[in-house]
Amino acid sequence: MKLVCIGRNYGEHAKELGNTLPEEPVVFLKPESALIPHGGPIRLPRFSQDVHHEIELVFSIAVRQGKAYADRVTIGLDLTARDLQQELKAKGLPWEKAKAFDGSAYVAEDFTAVESFPAGHHLEFLLKKNGQVAQSGHSGQMIFDVPTLIAHVERYMRLESGDLLFTGTPAGVGALRGGDRLEGYLLGELLFDLQVEGPESQR
Ligand code: ZN
C-alpha cells in the first residue's frame, strides 16, 4: 500500500507558500510506515522546528475491471517539516525527508463511500487547532479534481486497491507545538481528535 500525495492543489494554499499555480498535478509519495496509529498522538520529530499541519481529503482507491477509482473518502493530515522542505526545494532535492518521515501522515478511521454523495457534491472539511478553525475548504476548490488526479498519477505509476490518495490542502497551514490539539471534521462530523507531543516529552 502506498500513500500518493498531491501538492499545491488549492490556489490559496499555493499562494501562501509563494508557489505559482501548477500546470499539472504535483505528485509525491509517503511510505506506509509514515502513518500515525489511530488515535495518535502526533509526535514531532527532533530534526525540525517547523512541522506544519495540512488537512486533506483522503480517498481510498479501489480497482474495478482494471480501472482505479476513488471508492471511499475521509480526511487526513499531511504533516510537513516546512523548514527542511524549504531547504530541499532551494537545493532542488527530493522532499522525502520533509514529507515522508515516521509520523508524517494521519488517516481517520471512518471512511464514507464516495457513491453515497450526489454528483458534484462539495465535500466540506476543516481543521481546528486548540478549538479555533485553522483550515477549511471543500472539494470544489481543488485545482485538479479526483478523476483528473487519478488519471495523471496513473501515467507514471499503477494505483492498487487500498492505496490512499491525499488530494492537497487548503490555505491556513501552520506550525505545531507540543500540547496542541487537532480536531478534523468532514461534513460537520468530528473524525479525529489528536494530541501533539513535542520532542522534549518523548522518551
Ligand atoms: Zn499536502
Answer with the residue of higher pLDDT: 19 or 203. 19
16 C-alpha to center of ligand 1: Å?
13
Best CA proximity match to 70, nearest among 189, 184, 164, 191: 164
172 C-alpha to center of ligand 1: Å?
12
58 C-alpha to center of ligand 1: Å?
10
Arithmetic mean of pLDDT, 144-158: 97
78 C-alpha to center of ligand 1: Å?
5
166 C-alpha to center of ligand 1: Å?
7
> How far is Cα 85 from Cα 51, in angstroms, rounded to an integer?
10
Domains of the chain listed by start with CATH number = 3-201 (3.90.850.10)
64 C-alpha to center of ligand 1: Å?
27
Would you place residue 17 in the very low, low, confident or very high pLDDT band (cuts 50, 70, 90)? confident
123 C-alpha to center of ligand 1: Å?
17
Q: Note the pLDDT of residue 203.
A: 54
Best CA proximity match to 116, nearest among 64, 144, 74: 74
Arithmetic mean of pLDDT, 114-127: 94
Grid coordinates given for 67 = 480501472
Q: Note the pLDDT of residue 202.
A: 62
Averaged pLDDT score across all residues of the chain: 96
113 C-alpha to center of ligand 1: Å?
22
Would you place residue 200 in the very low, low, confident or very high pLDDT band (cuts 50, 70, 90)? confident
DSSP state of 145: -
Residue tagged 505545531 (cell numbers): 176
Q: Report the residue count for the chain.
A: 203
77 C-alpha to center of ligand 1: Å?
8
